[in-house]
C-alpha cells in the first residue's frame, strides 16, 4: 500500500497558501494562476483553515458577497480535515469520501508538508491497478 509520504515524493510538494486577511479575489486569482483548487490558510506558521473553489462558489457567489472585498477568513473552512504522512492512499480515499472533501493537507506534527487532492489519489490507485494487471498478464502469458 502506498503511503501519503510516498505519494508526496512523486509530486510537486509546493504548498500554496494565503493569509486569512487576504481577499477572496486574491485567493481565487492565486488558485487560477497555479491551476489548483485550494489554498491552505496560514497565519504565520499556523494552519488556520483551507479555502477551496467550492467555498468560493457556495459562500461568495451564492450569498452575494463581493469577492474583491470579502476576506478569506469569512468563507474559509476552519475545521481542517488532514492526514499524516504514514496514512495510506486507501485511508485517504475513504476519508475524502466520508467527509466529502477533495483536498487534504498533510501534516507532520502541526506543520503542513504537502497537500493531496482526489486527483492524486485516483492517479495513484489507477497506477497500482495497471501494475497489477500487467503482472497478471505476464504471469498468464508466461
Q: Model confidence over 48-105: pLDDT tens digits?
A: 999 999 888 887 777 777 667 889 999 999 999 999 999 999 999 999 999 999 999 9
pLDDT of residue 43: 96
The residue-averaged pLDDT of 7-15 equals 89
pLDDT at 13: 82
Looking at the chain, the number of H-run helices and the number of E-run strands are 5, 5
- At residue 85, the pLDDT reads 97
> Higher-confidence residue: 60 or 43?
43
Confidence (pTM): 0.85
* Residue 68 pLDDT: 75
The C-alpha atoms of residue 66 and residue 111 are separated, in whole angstroms, by 32
Amino acid at each position: 500500500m502506498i503511503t501519503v509520504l510516498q505519494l508526496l515524493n512523486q509530486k510537486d510538494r509546493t504548498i500554496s497558501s494565503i493569509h486569512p486577511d487576504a481577499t477572496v479575489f486574491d485567493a481565487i486569482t492565486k488558485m487560477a494562476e497555479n491551476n489548483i483548487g485550494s489554498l491552505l490558510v496560514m497565519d504565520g506558521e499556523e494552519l488556520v483553515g483551507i479555502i477551496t473553489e467550492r467555498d468560493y462558489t457556495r459562500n461568495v457567489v451564492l450569498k452575494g458577497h463581493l469577492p474583491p472585498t470579502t476576506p478569506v477568513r469569512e468563507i474559509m473552512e476552519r475545521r481542517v480535515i488532514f492526514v499524516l504522512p504514514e496514512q495510506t492512499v486507501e485511508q485517504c480515499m475513504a476519508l475524502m469520501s466520508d467527509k466529502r472533501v477533495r483536498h487534504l493537507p498533510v501534516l507532520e506534527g502541526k506543520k503542513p508538508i504537502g497537500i493531496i487532492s482526489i486527483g492524486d489519489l485516483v492517479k495513484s490507485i489507477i497506477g497500482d491497478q495497471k501494475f497489477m494487471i500487467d503482472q497478471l498478464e505476464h504471469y498468464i502469458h508466461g
